[in-house]
Amino acid sequence: MPTTARTRWTLFSVIAVLVVVAAGAAIAASNDPETPVSSGPITGEQPPVDGGPIVVEPRPGMAGVYARPYDTAAVSDDGRSVTIDFVSGVEPCNVLDHVGVRYGTDAVTITLYEGHDPSAGDVACIEIGVFKRVIVQLDEPLGGRSIVDGAA
């Protein structure tokens, strides 16, 4: 083989090896368990920009509905609404079906009811907590009554 052809072949071989090594390093880096995930879950929910809770609306018609506890309940200044924060799972396996409100003389009992979306079919959902919020409009002002979690 002439010297020019041998030099070109050697140069080509070195470049090919460098490309393979660089590609392998990129693949290894992307499989590193310490590398942060660059995309969120693929669901109908979109997390807010500030990282706060996802505001959800009840969607009646879920299957396997059960009462579920919540974490906090904050009453509005006018006493006509309550902001409830809770940690739930991902949709379609954990969907807020409805909110029950029972008015008593000393307390207002608020119960969240959650189930799974039957139209989703047979799906698997990851077991991860999702910070959610629902705003409940009261039919009558809270007044001096306390809020009670109906699922607690």
- The pLDDT score that the predictor gives to residue 19 is 62
Q: What is the pLDDT averaged over residues 103-116?
A: 97
Residue 52 banded pLDDT, cuts 50, 70, 90: confident
Inform me whether the pLDDT recorded for 137 exceeds 90. Answer: yes
Could you write out the three-class secondary structure of the chain? CCHHHHHHHHHHHHHHHHHHHHHHHHHHHHCCCCCCCCCCCCCCCCCCCCCCCEECCCCCCCEEEEEECCCEEEECCCCCEEEEEEEECCCCCCEEEEEEEEECCCEEEEEEEEEECHHHCCCCCCCCCEEEEEEEECCCCCCCCEEEECCC
List residues bridging with 23 in a β-sheet: none
Inform me whether the pLDDT recorded for 11 exceeds 70. Answer: no
Encode 125-141: b = buried (16+ Cβ within 10 Å), e = exposed: eeeeebebbbebebeee
Task: Look at 2-6, 21-25, 91-95, 143-147 and tell me which has the smallest mean pLDDT.
Answer: 21-25
Percentage of the chain surpassing pLDDT 70? 67
Write down the domain spans for the chain: 1-38, 54-149
Contacts of 95 (CB under 8 A, 6+ apart): 59, 62, 114, 115, 116, 117
Task: Look at 46-60, 64-78, 108-122 and tell me which has the smallest mean pLDDT.
Answer: 46-60
Inform me whether the pLDDT recorded for 37 exceeds 70. Answer: no
